[in-house]
Structure 1
Amino acid sequence: MANVSHLPGAFDHCWSWQLRGACREADNRLFFHPAGERGEAHDSREDAAKAVCAECPVRIECRRYALEARERYGVWGGLTEDERYRLLAGSTRRMRSAA
């Protein structure tokens, strides 16, 4: 039997916030757009997803995760793909300016 005493412990604390997400009670299709979705249907779906996020007790943890992991798709922590991209692009520009 292998000696695992030198390995780090479980990382449940890093992910346990997901168990408290308001999105767990919602249809996951609400947070990820189908191919070709445009216009009012797209905007309405995103608004509905953001409404779920607005009431979520772990919205900040979710948002932080999505930004750190560079999630490419879906609404996470109340932010769309485009909103996360703009936030990350802005922080990259600020870092370059400071250097």
Structure 2
Amino acid sequence: MSPFPRPAERAPDNLDRPRHWSADAECKGEVTAVFYPAPGENSAYAKSICWRCPVRVECLTHALEWPENFGVFGGLDEKERRELIADARRLAAKQREKETSGAAS
């Protein structure tokens, strides 16, 4: 649990709009290039920032819902996100197959 208080749920500009998750991101203020390493470069530094971020899940969700083809989001690089999507699709296919074979019995 973080020693820091959770941020306000509403934006501080009194417009009564929800605060965007990225306002609480640990990477805020970091050089953007850190999260977009060139092919073959190490992304460990970027990932170390992500792993201590309080909005890591929201960031990863964003990258999966709005396909981010490059960069580190939510602690995963583009290859890791593609693998995660492929794993989810394989699992869903297995589940459909199981349900179909169970219904046919």
Q: Specify if TM > 0.5.
A: yes
Matches within 5 A, 1:1-99: 13=18, 16-34=20-38, 37-38=39-40, 42-43=41-42, 46-99=43-96
Displaced runs of 4 or more, over 3 A: none
Residue correspondences, number: 81
Looking at structure 2, the residues matched to 25 and 51 of structure 1 have their Cα atoms a distance apart, in angstroms, of 15
Q: Which runs of 5+ in 2 are unaligned?
A: 1-16, 97-105
Higher helix share: 1
Structure scoring higher RCO (CA < 8 A, sep ≥ 6) equals 1
Q: Which runs of 5+ in 1 are unaligned?
A: 1-11
Name the larger-Rg structure.
2
Cα drift, residue 55 of structure 1: 1.7
Looking at structure 2, the residues matched to 77 and 25 of structure 1 have their Cα atoms a distance apart, in angstroms, of 16
Offset from partner CA, 1:54-87 (integer Å, 9 cap, x none): 1211111111111222211110010111111000
